[in-house]
Amino acid sequence: AQSVSQHNHHVILSEAASLELGCNYSYGGTVNLFWYVQYPGQHLQLLLKYFSGDPLVKGIKGFEAEFIKSKFSFNLRKPSVQWSDTAEYFCAVNPNSGYALNFGKGTSLLVTP
């Protein structure tokens, strides 16, 4: 079955640590890729997206993600996390042929001071 996998369900980091959250998908063909973030008590917000072109995309708040087509991956990175990055992070994939935005189960990130 086609799916989106986020391997880390819970991540705890100290401030200034580097972050990498994994995302793999199993869809063939062209895909559009997204990372959304949900801060505590807030709604889902777009962090960054990849449609085409440079596979390294930069988003808001210092986040970036790299699309590696051969690995069907779109991992999220940040060199130095802050306490305010505590949130739930969702990877989502839109097969270019359809309307659906297919989400992973999310990764809960806790950044400790």
Partner 1 sequence: ETGVTQTPRHLVMGMTNKKSLKCEQHLGHNAMYWYKQSAKKPLELMFVYNFKEQTENNSVPSRFSPECPNSSHLFLHLHTLQPEDSALYLCASSQGQRAGVPDTQYFGPGTRLTVL
Residues at the site binding partner 1, with contacts judged by CB under 8 A: 4, 32, 34, 36, 42-46, 49, 51-52, 90, 92, 94, 96, 99-106
The distance of closest approach from Cβ of residue 99 to partner 1 in the complex, given in angstroms and rounded to an integer, is 5
- Closest-CA residue to 35 (of 81, 82, 104, 98): 104
Distance CA 105, CA 2 (A): 14
Nearer to partner 1, 44 or 110 (CB): 44
The distance of closest approach from Cβ of residue 47 to partner 1 in the complex, given in angstroms and rounded to an integer, is 12
**Residue-by-residue DSSP string for 99-112:** S--EE---EEEEEE
Nearer to partner 1, 54 or 113 (CB): 54
3-state helix, strand, coil in the chain (%, to 5): 10, 50, 40
The distance of closest approach from Cβ of residue 66 to partner 1 in the complex, given in angstroms and rounded to an integer, is 18
Nearer to partner 1, 76 or 92 (CB): 92
Nearer to partner 1, 42 or 70 (CB): 42
The distance of closest approach from Cβ of residue 69 to partner 1 in the complex, given in angstroms and rounded to an integer, is 16
Query: For 29, left (φ over 0), alpha (ψ -120 to 50), or beta?
Result: left
Which helix or strand (DSSP H or E) is residue 25 part of?
Answer: strand 24-25
